[in-house]
């Protein structure tokens, strides 16, 4: 997993709103490039404003496939008013609620990647129930409660093709280091315990696991 994005893609990633550090972004990009070799879609759960979507979309473009990103665009728990990760610029003044969709579209437009992304606006469990094909990569970066993380894992991990990759963000084994809860860490442990996945890379809080067969 040594592939690196072009300078203009990395610049677009760094300019976009979001929380993923550059080192973790580079690791995600390398995983996406590898998974793109399967010729299957690359799927992301948790879009926010499209920072990580840029990397998946560019990897998909290079592989001749497509990136799919799933989000209701109303913000996760830690992005609501009163929380440290709330951005008042992302509040829809008419609805009085978070709406990250316009910022996401601007992000893709600025990066020149609109034609390589399918944006699904909806809640992850509902979309997963109607999804009907395998994917080369699932990147889980949605809500950080146990309910949401478990729903994302149970809904999407079974769709990872054999040889494909499951990437999980914000995995903090030490409670001292976590910032939104250890739900991602718990689904990471569950994936390993299932016997269906083997860890292949770890960068910061990003874990990448390969589907090696068996039931999730």
* Domain ranges for the chain: 7-211
Query: Residue 148 and residue 164: Cα distance in Å, rounded?
Result: 22
The answer to whether residue 180 scores a pLDDT higher than 80 is: no
Q: 1 vs 23, which has greater pLDDT?
A: 23
Return the CATH number of 7-211, one of 3.40.50.150, 3.30.1600.10, 3.40.50.300, 3.40.640.10: 3.40.50.150
Distance CA 213, CA 75 (A): 34
Write down the catalytic residue from 144, 148, 159, 169. Answer: 144
CA distance 189 to 187: 5
pTM of the complete model: 0.92
Q: Is 144 a catalytic residue?
A: yes
The pLDDT tens digits of the residues spanning 109-141 come to 999 999 999 999 999 999 999 999 999 999 999
């Amino acid at each position: 997993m040594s592939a690196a994005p072009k300078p203009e893609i990395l610049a677009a990633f760094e300019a976009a709103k979001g929380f993923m550090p550059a080192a973790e972004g580079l690791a995600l990009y390398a995983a996406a490039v590898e998974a793109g070799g399967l010729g299957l879609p690359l799927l992301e759960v948790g879009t926010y404003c499209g920072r990580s979507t840029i990397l998946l979309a560019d990897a998909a473009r290079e592989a001749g496939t497509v990136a799919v990103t799933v989000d209701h665009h109303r913000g996760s728990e830690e992005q609501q008013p009163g929380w440290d990760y709330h951005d008042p610029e992302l509040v829809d003044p008419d609805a009085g609620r978070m709406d990250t969709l316009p910022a996401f579209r601007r992000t893709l437009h600025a990066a020149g990647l609109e034609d390589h992304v399918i944006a699904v606006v909806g809640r992850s469990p509902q979309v997963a129930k109607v999804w009907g094909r395998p994917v080369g990569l699932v990147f889980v970066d949605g809500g950080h409660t146990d309910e949401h993380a478990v729903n994302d894992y149970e809904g999407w991990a079974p769709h990872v093709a054999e040889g494909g990759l499951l990437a999980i963000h914000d995995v903090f084994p030490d409670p001292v280091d976590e910032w939104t809860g250890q739900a991602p860490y718990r689904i990471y442990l569950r994936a390993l315990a299932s016997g269906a996945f083997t860890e292949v890379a770890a960068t910061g809080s990003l874990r990448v696991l390969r589907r090696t067969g068996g039931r999730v």
